[in-house]
Every structure is written in C-alpha cells, then in structure tokens.
Structure 1
Amino acid sequence: PQKVVACYSDEAILIPTLSNQVRCNKEEIQDYFTQFLQKRPQGTIELEQTREISEDVVINSGIYTFRFDDDAATDTQARFTFLYKKEAQGWKILEHHSSLLPEVVA
C-alpha cells in the first residue's frame, strides 16, 4: 500500500471502485489500498485514452478489469479517470475516480 500511495499527490482525492467513502488524504487513500490489495487484484486495462491538458497536467481515462484471488470466478469491470500533475517529486496522481460499470460488458 505504501508504494501505491507514493504515486499520489499530497493533495490527491480518490473516489474508489469498491468503497463509498471518498478518500481526501494519503492516510485515507492508504486505508483503501490496504484493504484492496489484500484481495490480491490482477488488473487488465481494456481501453484507455490519454490527453495532455498542459505541460504539467495529463488525464488518462478508460476501462479496466480486476480479478481477485478471493473470487477468481468473477471479474470486476470499472471505468477510471486519473488526473496526473507534474510536481517537484515527479508525476503524481492528483485525482483518481473509479466506478463499476453500470452495465456488464461481455
């Protein structure tokens, strides 16, 4: 979880896939990923687009699928949006929104 959280800006907001709680600081983001990573997810990006908004802001959106060790028979498909900002420490995630697809895609 610490390695994942290190990818996020100190000002980051996470609207996660598998929780109703919006995470507004690194402690809350780490709490989410501690629980999420315990499920041993394996992710595949199905579709993505990246757009440069400015020299120091990039947005990346698409659809990914996760399979979890605790439920290998079920794939979880979600849409995602990442907003990256170039900071002194490098590129960091400023906003991450991920939500289950409202309709199952075959």
Structure 2
Amino acid sequence: MGRHTYAAGAAVTTVAVLFAGTGAAQAADHRRQLPSEREIRNLFDRWNAALGTLDANRVADLYAPDAVLLPTVSAEIRKTRAARVDYFKHFLENKPVGRIQERVINILGRTSAIDTGLYQFTLTDKQGHRSKVDARYTFVYKLRGDRWLIINHHSSKLPTE
C-alpha cells in the first residue's frame, strides 16, 4: 500500500469516527427526557444563590463561554467571560437578592428552555440602606454536556408606565 492510499484511508476513517461520535451525541440527546418546569425554575435559584456568594466568578461560571448578557444596570453588551465578571463585580457590591414575581417557562426541547418574567432585587448599599428594583428578565438555558448553562440573559428595569 502506498503512502497516498494510507493517508486517504486515514482521512476517511477520521471522518467516519467524527460522524459516528456526532450520531452518538444526537442519539443521547434524543433519549434524554424533556426537562421539567421545576428543573428550569431551579436554575434561577442556583443563579440567585451564586449572587449570594458575592463572588463574580461563581456567577460567571453559570454562563456558557459564548453567552450574551444584557444586564440591568449597564449599557454594555457582555459577550465574554471577562466582561460578565466585570459586570457582576460591580453589581454584587449592592448585595443583590432576587425574587421572582411572575414567570413563564417555555421548554424548547430536551436541551433548551427559556425562563422569562418579572423579578425584584433587594439591594443593600455600603451604609446598609435597602432599596428595591423591579425588572423584567429572560434567561435562555442550554444543556451543554451534563450542565445547564445560561446562553442568553436579558434584564431591564421595569418601566413605571
């Protein structure tokens, strides 16, 4: 067998293995059950608990590497982990505690879901004074491997009118 024949055979084998791996991943996704609404609701609780640690990196760990964050108190779109960590460092200075007021959960499939609605944050400044901020939100979740990650998060202050 010549060198060219061997190289061509190796390339075909590599492509076949790649497609076989993709098929196995798709088959595993197909066997996976749809997530429950409760499972998706718990993802907000996980995020809110991460806020409670006051550790921007812990919060950022809940976002996919390619996630987009449109935060409540910033005009900048946060498209990188570093930008998300930067945002949360400042946001966490106010010791935010979130509480869902109203929500709608849409299960899009076995590996994706949307949680959207209204939430309220209680913020505490450095002097200990508390304030509340009402906002609307959308979290888009994607199951990557065995972890649900935020791939898109939009939050904006609730209009008064």
**What TM-score do you get using the length of structure 2 for normalisation?**
0.62
Q: How far apart in 2 are the matches of 1:43 and 1:58? A: 20
Of 70, 92, 96, which aligns to 2:149? 92
Larger % of helix: which? 2
CA RMSD of aligned residues (A): 1.1
Distance change in 2, residues 1:17/1:3 (3 Å): same
Matched residue, 1:26: 81
Larger C-alpha radius of gyration, 1 or 2? Answer: 2
Q: How far apart in 1 are the matches of 2:104 and 2:85? A: 26
Supply the AA of the counterpart residue of 1:63.
L
Q: How far apart in 1 are the matches of 2:98 and 2:140? A: 19
Matched residue, 1:80: 137
User: Can you give the 5+ residue segments of structure 1 that lack an aligned partner in the other structure?
Assistant: none
For residues 20-77 of structure 1, the C-alpha deviation after alignment (integer angstroms, 9 at most, x for no partner) is: 11100111001000100111112111011111111111000011111111141x3100
Query: How many residues align structurally?
Result: 103
Give the Å deviation of 1:97. 0.2
User: Can you give the 5+ residue segments of structure 2 that lack an aligned partner in the other structure?
Assistant: 1-55
**What TM-score do you get using the length of structure 1 for normalisation?**
0.92
Supply the AA of the counterpart residue of 1:58.
A
Q: How far apart in 2 are the matches of 1:101 and 1:85? A: 26
User: Percent identity of the aligned residues?
Assistant: 34
Give the Å deviation of 1:89. 4.6
Note if 1:53 corresponds to 2:112. no
